[in-house]
Amino acid sequence: MEIKKSKIEQIKYVVDNSDYVKINYDKLNDFTDEITDTNYEHWFDNKDLKLNEKQRILLMFLLESINFCFWQKPKFNIDYKNERLKGSEALFMSIIKEVEKDINFLDIEKLNNLTKEEFYEIFKTPYGPLSLKDTRYKLFKNTIQVIYNKKDNFYKELFSLNCDKELLNYIKDNFKYFRDISNYKGVEIHFDKRASLLVNDLFRVSDTINKNIKNVNNLTGCADYVIPKVLRANGVLVYNKELSNIVDNEIEIEHDDNMEIEIRANMLYVIELIKEKLQNKDININSIELDNIIWKTGRKKEISSPNHHTTCIYY
C-alpha cells in the first residue's frame, strides 16, 4: 500500500532506507563551510530581450519543456556571442537566438504550427548534436498545445495563483510531462525537478506572479545529475561498491531504479541540511537558490569522476 507523505518526508524516507547511497555528515559540514559566495542571479537577469510579461512567461514554459538529459556524448554545444556553450545553456540560447532574430517566434499561432523539421533547425550545430530530438519536440509541442487551447485563460489562471505550491501544482496538473514522480519501497516520491525550475523562472521574470506568490521558499532543490557529482566528489555523498562501479564505468541506470531514486533524494536532502546550516549562520537562502549555486560550482570546476547516467525527460 502506498504511504502518503509530505515532500520532505518522502525524501527523508528514501535517505533513511537507502541501500546504495549514504551521507557523510562530517564532509557535509566541511562542504558547507566552503560555501562563501551565496549571491544568486537568475540566468535571465542579464538578457537584454525586449519582451512583454506574457512573452517572458511563454518563453520560460518553452525552455523548461525541453530542459533535460544532456550527458550523452558528444555533448550538445553551440557558439553564442563568441562563447562556446554546452548542455542546457546551449539549448536555452538556441531558442533565445530565434527570439533575438524575430520576436514573432513567440507567437502562439506560429508555435502551434511549428513542424518537426523547423524545430530541428533551431538546434542545428556543427558540434555535438542535440540528443532525444523527437522526444523534445513532442514535449515542446504538448506544452504549446496546452497553452494554445487555453487561450487567454492561461494567463488569467497563472495570475490567480497565490503561492509557489499552487503554481507548482498548476504546472503538474495541466502539463503532464512536468510530472516527475517515482515510487520507492511503497512510497510515492515527488521530485518535480523541471516544474520547480519553471516556478522559479516565472517568479523571476513575471512581475505579476512575483507579486502574487511573494517567494519560492517552499520549493526544494532540483534533483539532477550535476549536483550529485559535485557532492560525491567532495565526499558528501558516498556510493556503495556496486553503485560506484556502475557510475565510474558510465553504465546507464534505468529511470526509476532504486539507485537513481536514492541518488536524487539524498542530493535533495543534503541541500536542505546545508540550507539549514547556512541559516544558522544568518545566511538566508532558499533551496532553489542554493541548488543553483552548487550546480554552478559543478559546471565551473573540472571534476574527473563521472555523473550517473539515466535517460529520461525529468532532468
Looking at 45-49, 64-68, 208-212, 226-230, which range is the least confident one? 45-49
Main-chain phi, psi angles of 188, to 5 degrees? -80, 125
Residue 315 has pLDDT above 60, yes or no: yes
Amino acid identity for residue 300 in this structure: K
Q: Is residue 305 in a domain?
A: no
Q: What is the mean pLDDT of the chain?
A: 95
pLDDT at 37: 86
Range of the domain at 13: 7-37+53-300
Residue 234 has pLDDT above 90, yes or no: yes
Q: Which of 139, 144, 59, 149 is nearest to 106 (CA)?
A: 59
> Are the C-beta atoms of 179 and 196 separated by less than 8 Å?
no
pLDDT average, residue stretch 202-231: 97
Q: Which of 170, 124, 169, 125 is nearest to 147 (CA)?
A: 170
How far apart CA 276 and CA 265 sit, in angstroms, is 17
Residue 174 has pLDDT above 90, yes or no: yes
Residue 28 has pLDDT above 60, yes or no: yes
pLDDT at 36: 86
Handedness of CA 12, 164, 161, 96 (dihedral sign): negative
Q: Is residue 241 in a domain?
A: yes
Q: Is residue 46 in a domain?
A: no
Joined together, the cell numbers standing for residue 178 give: 512536468
Which helix (H) or strand (E) segment holds residue 157: the answer is helix 153-158
Q: Is residue 243 in a domain?
A: yes
pLDDT at 1: 39
Q: Is residue 312 in a domain?
A: no
pLDDT digits (tens, 9 = 90+) for 267-293: 999 999 999 999 999 999 999 999 999
pLDDT digits (tens, 9 = 90+) for 125-173: 999 899 999 999 999 999 999 999 999 999 999 999 999 999 999 999 9
Q: Is residue 183 in a domain?
A: yes
> Are the C-beta atoms of 20 and 239 separated by less than 8 Å?
yes
Tell me if residue 242 falls in helix, strand or coil.
Answer: helix
pLDDT at 48: 86
Q: Is residue 242 in a domain?
A: yes
pLDDT bracket for residue 187 (50, 70, 90): very high
Q: Check: pTM over 0.75? Answer yes or no.
A: yes
Q: How far is CA 280 from CA 12, 238, 277, in A?
A: 21, 25, 5
pLDDT digits (tens, 9 = 90+) for 238-258: 999 999 999 999 999 999 999
pLDDT at 302: 67
Residue 299 has pLDDT above 70, yes or no: no
Percent of the chain with pLDDT over 90: 89
Neighbours of 209 (CB within 10 A): 22
Please count the structural domains in the chain.
1
pLDDT average, residue stretch 108-115: 97
pLDDT average, residue stretch 205-233: 96
Q: Is residue 48 in a domain?
A: no
177 Cα distance to chain centroid: 13
pLDDT digits (tens, 9 = 90+) for 45-98: 988 899 999 999 999 999 999 999 999 999 999 999 999 999 999 999 999 999
